[in-house]
């Protein structure tokens, strides 16, 4: 009986890596199609929510807000981002106009809360009555 010998140039790890790549590429394409192709408006909303979240983290690092305030604001921003992504996934990358306006308004509220908490919201008044007052 003959024994089977692999040629010296045969590399099992290289073959396994190639096989894994051939199997993974179609799945990666399907995942990308379902997860990341948003309309510019939708992508902008998701990016804006992430920017607000980064502002929350920066404010917390600089001790401008308390940990519990940061946690609450982070949870709100993350929720808006998740809802936007879920709506976009169900709508082939787009969010219905009414729902989009609701999410933008919610995100504006979170952003305003962050500005109020850090003391960086715009002030109104001209100081004639003894002071300036937060707008919000």
pLDDT tens, position by position, 10-24: 555 655 554 554 555
Q: Is residue 105 assigned to a domain?
A: yes
Domain count within the chain: 1
Rounded to whole angstroms, the Cα distance separating 123 from 136 reads 9
pLDDT score for 19: 52
Q: Is residue 14 assigned to a domain?
A: no
| β-strand partners of 123 | 134
- pTM to 2 decimal places: 0.63
Residue 111 to residues 41, 44, 63, 72, 116: CA-CA distances in angstroms? 18, 15, 17, 12, 9
pLDDT score for 46: 92
pLDDT score for 2: 58
Report the 10 Å Cβ neighbour count for 91.
14
Which tokens in the block code for residue 68? 């519990």
Q: Is residue 13 assigned to a domain?
A: no
Average pLDDT of the residues in 76-87: 95
Range of the domain at 43: 38-118
């Amino acid at each position: 009986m003959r024994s089977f010998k692999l040629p010296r140039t045969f590399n099992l790890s290289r073959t396994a890596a190639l096989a894994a790549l051939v199997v993974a590429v179609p799945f990666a394409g399907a995942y990308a199609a379902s997860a990341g192709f948003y309309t510019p408006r939708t992508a902008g909303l998701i990016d804006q929510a992430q920017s607000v979240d980064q502002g929350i983290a920066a404010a917390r690092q600089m001790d401008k807000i308390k940990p519990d305030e940061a946690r609450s604001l982070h949870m709100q921003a993350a929720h808006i981002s998740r809802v936007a992504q879920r709506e976009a996934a169900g709508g082939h990358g787009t969010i219905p106009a009414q729902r989009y306006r609701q999410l933008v308004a919610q995100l504006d509220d979170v952003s305003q809360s962050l500005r109020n908490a850090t003391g960086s919201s715009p002030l109104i008044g001209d100081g004639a009555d003894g002071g300036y007052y937060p707008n919000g």
